[in-house]
């Protein structure tokens, strides 16, 4: 099936809602300022669709004025998620208390202090774009006009590199999320043709043991592909990377597990047979179902 875009026979719609998967590692609930989904709505869907485990990774921002700056206290978020985990534990879904922290270099001391004092099961670090960003919709056309591709992505990728180098995170969320804002001024194909721009990030992930997330929200946004796309995940593997995660990054009930099967397929196609995860304590591996193992990587599950 190499290159023909087909997926597992029993799951033809890879970019729709997923069924029978071990983990969705990136979800937002009404504990985030940009989501209104009660946690039980995801949990009920997970049971119905045989999604064995979900990581609730609500936003925490450290930049004053950012949406999730002082949005809810840690204790409130922890209580809501842990109580839900107890309610649902015997009903077929394990719920983990994670977080998606917005990384900005200037906030690194505060982030480090927060993580030293608060125990999460699983921590995603992501670079987002603030109102003063060159990628803001009001500015991105002027930013991209007449600039080279390396210069265009530099503010985002440089910050991602610092996030990786900080060593603070289990996983780096949506490595090239900036694609969301660059389209149509820069196409995903232009970025795919410049893998060297990703190389420092991928090497830093390998060196620090930080996992690369394959975020499937890009499939339902203008980029039309995962963050990052499959060739980048393959390059990561070639460079020695083995730690990869995936999540739907749903903010709405109907986005729960959307594209998640494609995320599993992308990872498996890169020759990686397990997801990197943590449930508090030390890191664990979540085995990717055999149906995603492609013929060109017959031993994927033992990679």
| Binding site residues, Zn ion, CB under 5 A | 100, 126, 173, 249
Closest CA relative to residue 242, chosen from 266, 283, 210: 210
Record the tokens describing residue 38, joined without a space.
């009660």
Torsion sign across C-alpha atoms 280, 283, 287, 293? positive
| 120 or 292: CB nearest Zn ion | 120
Closest CA relative to residue 297, chosen from 276, 279, 270: 270
| 53 or 61: CB nearest Zn ion | 61
| CA 19/CA 258 separation, integer angstroms | 10
Closest CA relative to residue 271, chosen from 227, 228, 232, 302: 302
Cβ at position 229, least distance to Zn ion in Å: 17
Cβ at position 41, least distance to Zn ion in Å: 17
Record the tokens describing residue 160, joined without a space.
């991602």
Cβ at position 181, least distance to Zn ion in Å: 13
Cβ at position 124, least distance to Zn ion in Å: 7
| 53 or 100: CB nearest Zn ion | 100
| 176 or 249: CB nearest Zn ion | 249
Closest CA relative to residue 202, chosen from 238, 170, 177: 238
| 45 or 126: CB nearest Zn ion | 126
Cβ at position 225, least distance to Zn ion in Å: 16
| 156 or 292: CB nearest Zn ion | 156
45 three-state secondary structure:
helix
| 33 or 289: CB nearest Zn ion | 33
| 22 or 125: CB nearest Zn ion | 125
Cβ at position 4, least distance to Zn ion in Å: 31
Record the tokens describing residue 138, joined without a space.
């009001």
Closest CA relative to residue 244, chosen from 289, 265, 213, 270: 213
φ, ψ for residue 117, nearest 5 deg = -100, -10
Cβ at position 16, least distance to Zn ion in Å: 20
First-last CA distance in the chain: 20
Instruction: Write the DSSP symbol of residue 103.
Output: P
Select the residue whose beta carbon is closest to Zn ion and give its number.
126
Closest CA relative to residue 166, chosen from 100, 245, 118, 107: 107
Site of tokens 């009920």: 44
Cβ at position 290, least distance to Zn ion in Å: 29
Record the tokens describing residue 238, joined without a space.
């070639």
Torsion sign across C-alpha atoms 117, 118, 120, 122? negative
């Amino acid at each position: 099936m190499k290159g023909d875009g087909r997926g597992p026979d029993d799951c033809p719609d890879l970019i729709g809602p997923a069924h029978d998967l071990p983990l969705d590692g990136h979800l937002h609930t009404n504990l985030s300022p940009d989501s209104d989904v009660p946690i039980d709505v995801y949990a009920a869907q997970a049971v119905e669709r045989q999604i064995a485990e979900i990581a609730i990774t609500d936003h925490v921002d450290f930049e004053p004025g950012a949406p999730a700056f002082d949005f809810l206290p840690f204790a409130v978020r922890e209580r809501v998620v842990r109580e839900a985990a107890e309610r649902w534990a015997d009903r077929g879904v394990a719920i983990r208390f994670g977080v998606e922290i917005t990384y900005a270099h200037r906030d690194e001391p505060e982030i480090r202090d927060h993580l030293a004092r608060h125990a999460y099961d699983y921590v995603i670090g992501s670079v987002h774009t603030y109102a003063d960003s060159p990628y803001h919709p009001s500015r991105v056309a002027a930013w991209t006009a007449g600039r080279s591709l390396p210069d265009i992505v530099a503010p985002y990728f440089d910050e991602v590199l610092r996030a990786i180098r900080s060593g603070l995170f289990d996983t780096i969320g949506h490595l090239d999320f900036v694609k969301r804002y660059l389209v149509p001024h820069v196409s995903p194909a232009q970025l795919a043709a410049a893998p060297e721009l990703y190389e420092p990030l991928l090497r830093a992930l390998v060196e620090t043991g930080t996992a690369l997330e394959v975020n499937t929200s890009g499939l339902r946004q203008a980029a039309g592909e995962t963050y990052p796309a499959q060739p980048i995940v393959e390059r990561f593997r070639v460079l020695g990377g083995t730690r990869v995660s995936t999540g739907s990054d749903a903010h709405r009930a109907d986005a729960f597990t959307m594209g998640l099967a494609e995320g599993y397929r992308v990872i498996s196609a890169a020759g990686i047979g397990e997801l990197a995860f943590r449930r508090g304590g030390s890191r664990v591996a979540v085995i990717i179902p055999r149906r995603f193992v492609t013929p060109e990587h017959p031993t994927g599950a033992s990679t």
